[in-house]
């Protein structure tokens, strides 16, 4: 019964996150509607991650557990980059980035176990582990060089929030699409949306995206 309730809340929160993500992406950065949508998105994604943890434990699903931690960091770090206008990292920012890196290493370790078992999901763990370690390294480097100009901070905000959106879209694809091999459903959203993140980052850093009040 408890597992069913958790699953319903998990799915509902994911649906809300996906809906408000579309609003956040389609509204001008720094405007009221974007900020409000971002707050709702962060809250919904936090609920998704919080419910995913017990679901993963109940189902003894190590992949889901690692992806839940991975997803939570993306949303938390994205929210922190938006809120921390000074650009100076706090201890919680350092700790979160380190935990993200350790999670990535854990994904690689679990991926090695899956590989030895002949489970094709090792590909998912290898790719997500690389993303986790890379984002951790980039965020740690950003923290070391802080404070940075506002546009670099917002670029980190966009990267993490959009990566969190990938996690939400991935969940929808995995649940609703049967692919061969199975890991393709986990990787496809990343392959499709990552170029959008790179393109948007270039716009932000060049000052061609709408971000009122960012210098």
Other beta carbons within 10 Å of 85? 12
Domain boundaries, the chain: 2-206
Q: For the residues 136-149, what does the mean pLDDT come to?
A: 83
Contact (Cβ atoms closer than 8 angstroms) between residue 13 and residue 44: yes
- What are 57-86's pLDDT values in tens digits? 877 677 777 888 888 888 888 888 888 878
Q: What percent of the chain has pLDDT over 90?
A: 17
pTM of the model: 0.78
- What are 11-48's pLDDT values in tens digits? 888 888 888 888 887 777 767 888 888 889 888 888 88
Other beta carbons within 10 Å of 106? 18
């Amino acid at each position: 019964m408890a597992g069913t309730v958790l699953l319903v809340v998990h799915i509902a929160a994911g649906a809300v996150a996906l809906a408000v993500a579309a609003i956040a992406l389609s509204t001008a950065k720094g405007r009221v509607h974007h900020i409000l949508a971002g707050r709702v998105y962060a809250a919904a994604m936090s609920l998704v991650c919080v419910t995913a943890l017990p679901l993963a434990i109940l189902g003894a699903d190590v992949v889901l557990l690692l992806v839940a931690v991975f997803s939570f960091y993306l949303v938390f770090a994205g929210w922190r980059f938006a809120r921390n206008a000074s650009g100076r990292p706090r201890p919680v920012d350092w700790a979160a980035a380190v935990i993200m890196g350790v999670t990535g290493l854990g994904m690689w370790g679990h991926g090695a176990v899956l590989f030895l078992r002949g489970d094709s999901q090792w590909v998912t763990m290898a790719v997500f582990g690389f993303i986790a370690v890379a984002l951790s390294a980039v965020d740690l480097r950003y923290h070391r060089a802080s404070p940075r100009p506002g546009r670099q901070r917002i670029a980190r905000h966009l990267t993490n929030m959009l990566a969190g959106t990938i996690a939400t879209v991935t969940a929808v694809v995995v649940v609703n699409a049967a692919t061969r091999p199975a890991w393709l459903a986990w990787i496809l959203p990343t392959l499709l949306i990552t170029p959008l993140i790179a393109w948007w980052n270039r716009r932000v850093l060049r000052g061609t995206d709408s971000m009122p009040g960012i210098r």
